[in-house]
Amino acid sequence: MDNIQVIKEVTIEQGKVKINGLDFFHDESLEIGPFLKCLYKKLDLKYSKYYKMDYLCKLGFLASEVLLNGENDILTDSDDVAIVLANTSSSLHTDVKYQSSISEIPSPSVFVYTLPNIVIGEISIRNKFYGEHMFFVQSTYNKTELLDYTATLFASGSCKQAIVGWLEVDMEGAYCANLMLCQKNN
């Protein structure tokens, strides 16, 4: 893992957003819906696709916005940025929502979010990232393991930068995010 360098880290949990361990934003509403709404407002974004996303995508999208905000050297519109994400619950929160819609009329706009890798698509669309990407599902967050995997991407020349980390929304809506911006350590 010597060839990988974490240059920025964003953590979101229990209503708090931290950048490199320092407080960036916090909101009293701990529940995921209202909290994400406040964070979206705080970031002053105008992105109509955001409203259509499920919670996992909203969380990942906002975390990536905080992570990339102010970073001018990001290689957008290229194959050079990899995205490697993981969580425990996959898309279970939305799976439950979709399951309950089946008995009436199944909703296509809910069904499309019953895959965990959709969030990678959302971040890619926003930033024109065409690069290598992967979604792992794991019982617990193992940061080293994800960074090790990303290191193999740097080693094989598959990417020059990477967004790596954990995005979890469980069945009850409990959430946490930890995203790292990585580059090759020369």
Partner 1 sequence: MVYIAAHNIISPLGWTSEENFQQVVSDKSGIKLCSNRNISDSDFQASLIDEGVLKQKLAEHSGLENYTKLEQLSILSIKSIIKSVDVKSKRTGFIFSTTKGNIDQLHKHTNPSDVLLASCAQKIADYFGFTSKAQVVSNACISGLAAFIVAKRYIDAGLYENVVILGADVLSKFIVSGFQSFQSLSAEPCKPFDTNRNGLTLGEGVASLVLSRATNETSSQTIELVNGAIRNDANHISGPSRTGEGLFRAIQATLKDFKSIDAICAHGTATPFNDDMESQAIYRSGLATVPVFGLKGYFGHTLGAAGIIESIISILAMQKNIVIGTKGLLEQGVVSDINVVKENETKEITEFLKLMSGFGGCNAAIYFKKHG
Partner 2 sequence: MSELKENLKKQLIEQLNLEDFEISDIADSDALFGDDGLALDSIDALEIIVLLEKEYGIKLDDPKKGKDIMTSVQTLSDFIESKR
Identified binder of partner 2 from the candidate list 31, 41, 52, 130, rule CB under 8 A: 52
Closer by beta carbon to partner 2, 1 or else 37:
37
In sequence order, the 6+-apart residues with CB closer than 8 A to the CB of 80 are 131, 159, 160, 161
Measure Cα distances from 21 to 8, 12, 60, 71, 172 in Å: 10, 10, 18, 17, 26
Count the residues of the shown chain that bind partner 2, applying the rule CB under 8 A. Answer: 11
**Residue 152, binding choice from partner 1, partner 2, none, Cβ under 5 to 8 Å by partner class:** partner 1
Please, what is the Cα angle at 81 between 26 and 176, to 5 degrees?
25
* 103 counts as binding partner 2 under rule CB under 8 A: no
Number of Cα atoms under 13 Å in the Cβ half of residue 147: 20
Q: Is residue 51 a contact residue for partner 2 (CB under 8 A)? A: yes
What are the φ/ψ torsions at residue 6 (nearest 5 degrees)? Answer: -85, 120
Which of 28, 103, 104, 144 contacts partner 2 by CB under 8 A?
Answer: 104
The C-alpha R_g of the chain, in whole angstroms, comes to: 16
Cα separation of 104 and 70, whole Å? Answer: 45
Please report how close the Cβ of residue 58 comes to partner 1 at its closest, in angstroms: 13
Q: Are strands 175-184 and 81-87 parallel, antiparallel or unpaired?
A: unpaired
How far apart (Å, rounded) are the C-alpha atoms in residues 61 and 6?
19
Taking CB under 8 A as the rule, does residue 75 contact partner 1?
no
Residue closer to partner 1 (CB basis): 70 or 108: 108
Measure CA 28 to chain center: 22
| Residues in contact with partner 1, shown as a per-residue x/- string from 32 to 61 under the rule CB under 8 A | ------------------------------
- Residues 105-164 contacting partner 2, CB under 8 A: 105-109, 112
Contacting residues toward partner 1, per CB under 8 A: 79, 88-90, 92, 95-96, 98-99, 102, 105-108, 111-112, 114-118, 120-122, 124-125, 127-139, 145, 148-149, 151-153, 155-156, 158, 171
Contacting residues toward partner 2, per CB under 8 A: 46, 48, 51-52, 104-109, 112
